Chains A and B, each alone.
Chain A
C-alpha cells in the first residue's frame, strides 16, 4: 500500500527565514508526486507535479525537488502570506490513478 509521511507536522518561521519541508514516500511504481497548498476553510490548491528523480520545479518562493525516496519543498525568504498547510501526495502506477496524501505540514510565517 502506498504511504506518505510528511515532516515536520508544524513549522514556525520568521519572515525571511528559509527552510524545507520533507515528504517521504513508498509507492508501487511512482507515476507522480504532487504538492498542494491548503488555506484554512478552503480546498487544496495544486502547486507542483514531479515524476522523475532529480527533477525540480519552482514557483515564486517555492522550489520542489524529488529523489527516489523523498521530496522536499524549499521555501526561500518566506512571507506571512505563505502561511498554510502544505500537502504531499503520490500517485502510483496502477490504472485507477489514485492519490495518497500525507497529513501535511502546517507552516506559520511570522512578520
Chain B
C-alpha cells in the first residue's frame, strides 16, 4: 500500500540513450512533481502537474519530458542522456486543489515523496 511509488529503483545506462522513469500515487492527490537530487543532496524541483496540466517547469533541458496519462501517474522521459543527468530523481504528490486557489486563504500544502530512482549515466 505504498503511497508514492517509482520504478525502477536503479537505472544504469549509457550516454545518448533514452530512458523513462514511472511514478504512481494512490493518495488521491491531483498534483504531482518531479525533483532532482544531485550529488550534494540538494533537492530541486523540475516539473509540477496539477490534474494533468503543467504548472511548473523549472528551466529544465527539453530532453526531459514529463507525461501525465492520468492524475495518479506522472512519468519522466529523458532523451539523449548525458553524464550530468546522473542523480537521484524523486516523484512527489500533494493535495493541492484543482484548479490551484488564487488569492483567498493561504493554505499550505505538504508534498509526499516516492523512494527515488538513482540514475547513473556512463
Residues on A lying within 8 angstroms of B by beta carbon are 29, 31-34, 36, 38, 41-46, 49, 51, 85, 87, 91, 93, 95-101, 103-104
Contacts and interface: CB of A to CB of B under 8 A. Distances in A.
Contacts, number: 66
Contacts of A44: 43, 90, 113
A32 B41 contact: no
A31 B107 contact: yes
A1 to B, nearest CB: 11
Interface in B65-105: 90, 92, 94, 96, 100-102
Given A91-B108, A98-B56, 9 more contacts: A33-B108, A34-B108, A43-B114, A43-B116, A51-B108, A98-B45, A101-B42, A101-B44, A103-B41
Contact of A43 (B44, B101, B106, B115): B115
12 contacts: A32-B109, A43-B90, A43-B113, A43-B116, A44-B90, A46-B110, A46-B113, A49-B110, A95-B100, A97-B109, A98-B45, A103-B42
Contact of B116 (A34, A42, A46, A87): A42
Contacts of A93: 106
Contacts of A100: 45
Q: Chain B interface: which size bin?
A: 20 to 34
A13 to B, nearest CB: 20
B112 interface: yes
Given A43-B116, A95-B101, A31 B108 contact: yes
A33 B109 CA distance: 10
Contacts of A36: 113
A85 B41 contact: yes
A78 B100 CA distance: 39
B110 A96 contact: no
A56 to B, nearest CB: 16
B89 to A, nearest CB: 10
